[in-house]
A and B are shown apart, each in its own frame.
Chain A
Amino acid sequence: MKKLVDDISPIPEPYQFISILWLSFLMAGVATGVFFSAIDPMELEACVDFPEVGRMGAYSVGFLLFWLLTASSSLLSCYFLLPRKRKTSGDDTTVNQT
């Protein structure tokens, strides 16, 4: 993770954290709202063999899972935006390939 964060140097450090964790937090909130207003976790619990956590627990776990999902998507996006490195004899110049 540290290595990755170092590599995204064109994006300053506060932005690295924000572009991955904070924005995905916002989107996970939206997703949780939409998902659980359409689906009642108690009905879900009745069909799937899942440890009983109650509605509050289901909402919270749902939110954290959504966050994990959105954060990994953001992380991948940031990773793909990395400038590709091309080693030429001696110096390592960073070449932007777009």
Chain B
Amino acid sequence: MNAPQNDAAIKQSLFEKHQKIYPREVHGKFAQLRILSVISLLGLFYALPWIPWDGRQSVLFDLPARKFYVFGLTFWPQDFLLLTFLLMLAALSLFFFTTLAGRLWCGYACPQTVWTEIFMWMERMVEGDRIKAMRLDQSPMSFKKFRIKATKHAIWIIFSLHTGVTFIGYFTPMSELTSKIMTLELGPWATFWMFFYGFATYGNAGFMREQVCKYMCPYARFQSAMFDSDTMIVSYDKERGEPRGQRRFGDEEKRKGLGDCVNCTMCVQVCPTGIDIRDGLQYECIGCSACVDVCNDVMKKVGYDPGLISYTTQNLLDGKPTKIIRPRVIVYACILLGLISSFIYTVATRTPLELDVIRDRNQLYRETRGLIENVYTLKIINMDDEAHSYDLSVSGIRDIRMQLEQEDIIVKSGKVLDVPVRLLVEEDALTKRSTEVVFSLFAKDNQKLAEVERAKFIGPLP
């Protein structure tokens, strides 16, 4: 197919009314992998809010209290940079795995795929296999059809609502949430978001399905930029398969001139995005490898070698060697490793205490009775779960004296305290206009809660 025709076909397909896709159930190596992934990811999503940790929920994004609990760690809005870090990490891992193995994310881990799988499983339980579901949809409305459809939607809706409740459970403590739902005392916003998320699940996994990948997903748009000839893709071996054609099993006479593809269209029937992989790599392909599984089954049945459709690289397909380790992979891996190690380092060495020193902007310094005075405001942020009393000291200049307006520095959990500080030094202790001073702050009850911050002490020109 040449380019203008291809464009026209794509345009045509975009204007076409959406046709419902009935993917046939598939068994095999990749299907098992996907089931494993679906069970573990969904299991994690539904179970996490129920797992206690240190007397509270293990993962809780307590938005009303502006605290994020992730197992033993507590994060505050001040830790926003860490979140940015985490997002960069996620994006980079996506790039790395896409370069290596294509659309792994799409085929196995994307919430859209995971929820669609479970919704299709429920659909199959109620409506039966592909043929039965198609017949049911074509048949006129009857009591039986209504009953089946109503059952399916009821199950979907209950599951979606449960998903919505679980989603809210990440933001409101689960124990509180369930009792509030039982007594119908859930706040208006929590109710709104519960239904919003539930409805999104129902719509995306029940109806939109592959259209989300085709039209809505930003990643699907740019993922091909990460591909090269050594990236794993789902591919049909044209050389071996063509010319395709049906044949009678064992009839070698009829097979003459035909390739290995028996044109059973199974690969088309199992495809969740409704494409024909034999037309070559298409942007709709989410790399789920269902066609690989089913084609291998067919090949086994007709007595041919497996691998007519396989999960391979363009280079292997062209008979060239494939390199796993290549510059692109090395660069991604290095950046990824650097980011991961610095993230772990930052989280591990992070003290739940922050100290900012702000110099008084009104005057640089003041002279009082032979002493030079500088004024600062210290911002102390206690990010620990309990209140602490702190000791403050300063060093950097000989005989430096500190005057505080308050006797005790006590900061409650999650609060910011402004402490005005005056520093006084003898004029002859200064040798330069600007000298560095060091503020050290530590909790009286826990020496590990310490923070050091540098500041400038300004004096007259010597």
Binding site for B on A (CB under 8 A): 12, 14-15, 18, 22-23, 26, 33-34, 36-38, 40, 54-57, 59-60
Contacts and interface: CB of A to CB of B under 8 A. Distances in A.
A18 B63 contact: no
Nearest to A34: B80
B215 A60 contact: no
B344 interface: no
B66 interface: yes
Given A37-B77, A38-B77, A38-B80, A54 B192 contact: no
Interface residues of B, number: 19
Contact of A18 (B80, B188, B215): B215
Interface residues of chain A: helix, strand, loop or mixed (majority): helix
B193 interface: yes
21 contacts: A14-B215, A15-B215, A18-B215, A22-B216, A23-B218, A26-B218, A37-B83, A38-B77, A38-B80, A54-B64, A54-B187, A55-B63, A56-B63, A56-B64, A56-B187, A56-B189, A56-B190, A57-B188, A57-B189, A60-B189, A60-B192
Contacts of A60: 189, 192-193
B211 A14 contact: yes
B182 interface: no
Nearest to B65: A55
Given A22-B216, A56-B190, A40 B15 contact: no
B77 to A, nearest CB: 4
A22 to B, nearest CB: 5
Contacts of B218: 23, 26
A56 to B, nearest CB: 5
A55 B77 contact: no
Nearest to A15: B215
A35 to B, nearest CB: 11
B47 interface: no
A55 B11 CA distance: 46
A34 B83 CA distance: 10
Nearest to A60: B189
A98 to B, nearest CB: 19
Contacts of B188: 57
5 tightest CB-CB pairs across the interface, nearest first?
Answer: A12-B14, A37-B80, A37-B77, A14-B215, A56-B189
Contacts of A33: 83
B193 A55 contact: no
A55 B216 contact: no
* Listed residue (A15, A34, A37) with the most chain B CB atoms within 10 angstroms of its CB: A37
Contacts of B187: 54, 56
